[in-house]
Structure 1
Amino acid sequence: MPDVTVYGHDGGPLPATVGPATLLVGGARHLADVSSNAERVVMGDVAAAVDRITDHDGPVAVVASGDPGFFGIVRTLRRAGVDPVVRPAVSSVAQAFARLGLPWDDAVVVSAHGRDDGLRRAANVCRAYPKVAVLTGPGADPPALAAALEGWRRRIVVASRLGTAEERLTGPDGDWTDPNVVLVLAEDGAAGPAGWLAGGVRMPDGWALPEEAFHHRASMITKAEVRAVALAHLAPVPGTLVWDLGAGSGSVAVECGRFGAAVIAVDRDPAATDLVRANAAQHGVDVRVVTGTAPEALADLPDPDAVFVGGGGPDVLGAVLDRRPSRVVAAFAAVEPIGPTAAALAAAGYTTGGAQLQANRLTDLAGRHRLAATN
């Protein structure tokens, strides 16, 4: 393998020369700033450029944006068997937060570049977390990201050509240009609390929380044992979107949000949606709450990855299946809806299963204990 040195470029001066390199690889705008008589390869097709690097007999210099070890060319080179020397510059993410004077150890960073589902996954992270940096790409530009975030209260800042004379900070409809990084900030997410674990992605300190952890009315809440099984099947993780239909207290929605999923909770009762908001605030998660009757209230919502059906009839389930989520979980207190629901899921092409849950909780009984059935 050739000797490869990767230079990061943050808009500042590059080395006037790149030493003994006989092959120089990078973007056209980067290579224009380098004085060298070496053979030049403009890196449009990354795979072809890496093949040329590995075939070269002699030292190679690669010029890349920012910190090439952060969502950059270093990973690709190492996968090709190259062990490069890396001379990083300041990453575009660090520069963008610095321009706004914000700390970013609590930020989530996602790349929407070069991925078929990059926009959807990036948008779901921005819906769930208060401080996100998005490395944009074709099909996932700032206006597309802003459109995906309609209905969520977010400030969007596009930082373009950082470190160059063309540097600018704009909104998604402003005079931005490529390359850029987009900062997506909730109203209360600018500073954030001090922590000890960088990256912003959180894991809950427990799940299937007791009913007492939520505001609810007259025990109208999905019980902890049911939530535990539902969460296992919904698989809420960062980058996914979960609908909670017939949300009631919103306990399922909040639990999904605590795992880092984006969540929309729908209920026709304004008193119920008020409870959802209160529970989401209490547990520090961002749940979008929709007051309306399904299926009509679902029409303008973004497509979900998983749906918890806690209420509604066959028309609601039909509207859900029309959106083709990967996972559907329905919970019933009565047995009559089970057969038609299983048939509808199977007819829509889903692999269908079910379980009866029975929980008898330990209760004091005059100094002894008994098992009391839970609905």
Structure 2
Amino acid sequence: MAESRKNKVIIVGCGPGLKAYLSPKSMYHIKKAEILVGSRRLLKLFPRVDAEKVVLEKNYSILIQKIAEWSRSKQVVVLVSGDPCFFSYTKMIVRKMGRERCTIIPGISSIQLAFAAVGESWDDACFLSLHGRNNEYEQLVKKVRAYSKVAILTDHKNTPSVIARYLLKHGIQKRQMFICKNLSLPEEAIHATDLISAINMSTSGSAVVIIKNTNNETR
């Protein structure tokens, strides 16, 4: 396998954050890194990688500028959770660096894991992120009415309970809700429920929610 040029930034999708889900190509580039950038959780996966480790927190703009500078002389590898091209800061890196100076290694997204966990196909689904976003609820209603399946990334504020309550308030009732927590981890939990029951469910942290139209009709 040929080594990438030094001036290319390698963006690696780490999937759910387990080494078992990383491809050999991903591991190859991670081991070759001179500077490894990622969240604390992802960096902890690679204690034996002999690279300078830089924690990515909420300093995106500043750090992306530094990544551009570092990449002139060193091999920079950026770790992202899930798939780099799905609701990720990869977009910011590519915009700054240019497509020709980035190599993106795909990963398994939490959406893929969620659909696999509930045994549903996702080629007919629509996707929405409420993770850190409070202005997407009108789009949520439109998409749930228009599509037979909608997959939603949530957070500690935009919980399954909040989502269910909002949909019911807007006249959407006959839907099944799958709540997928801690996907791929030992404490993985999958709950299948309806919107009314979901209102009283207590969940913390992030989850993937799948809303399915049980009548295969839109309204």
Using the size of structure 1 for normalisation, the TM-score is 0.46
- In the alignment, residue 41 of structure 1 is paired with which amino acid? V
How much does 1:116 deviate?
4.4
Task: Give the equivalent residue in structure 2 for 1:22.
Answer: 34
In the other structure, the counterpart of 2:210 is 183
2:110 to 61, 83, 92: 92
SS in 2 for 1:25: strand
Contact residue 111 and residue 122 of structure 1 kept, 8 A: no
1:134 corresponds, among 152, 175, 181, to 152
Higher-Rg member (1/2): 1
In the alignment, is the contact (CA less than 8 A) between 1:9 and 1:89 conserved in 2? yes
Moved more, 16-25 or 170-179: 170-179
Alpha-carbon contact 1:24-1:60 (below 8 Å) kept = yes
Indicate the residue corresponding to 1:161 in structure 2.
182
AA of the residue aligned to 2:185: T
Looking at structure 1, the residues matched to 214 and 111 of structure 2 have their Cα atoms a distance apart, in angstroms, of: 20
1:69 aligns with 2:85: yes
Distance 1:85 1:176, change over 3 A: farther
What CA distance in whole angstroms lies between the structure 1 residues aligned with 2:113 and 2:78?
A: 21
Structure 2 runs not aligned, ≥5 long: 1-5
Higher helix residue share: 2
Please tell me the root mean square deviation across aligned C-alpha atoms, in Å.
Answer: 2.6
Secondary structure of the 1:178 match is coil
What does 1:1-375 correspond to in 2, within 5 Å?
2-11=7-16, 12-13=18-19, 14=22, 15=27, 18-35=30-47, 36-45=49-58, 46-56=60-70, 57-82=73-98, 83-137=101-155, 139-150=157-168, 151-153=171-173, 154-170=175-191, 172=198, 174=201, 176-189=203-216, 285-286=218-219
Identical-residue share of aligned pairs (%)? 29
In structure 2, the partner of 1:321 is none
5+ long unaligned stretches in structure 1 = 190-283, 287-375
Q: Secondary structure of the residue that 1:34 maps to in structure 2?
A: coil
How far apart are residue 107 of structure 1 and its match? Answer: 0.5
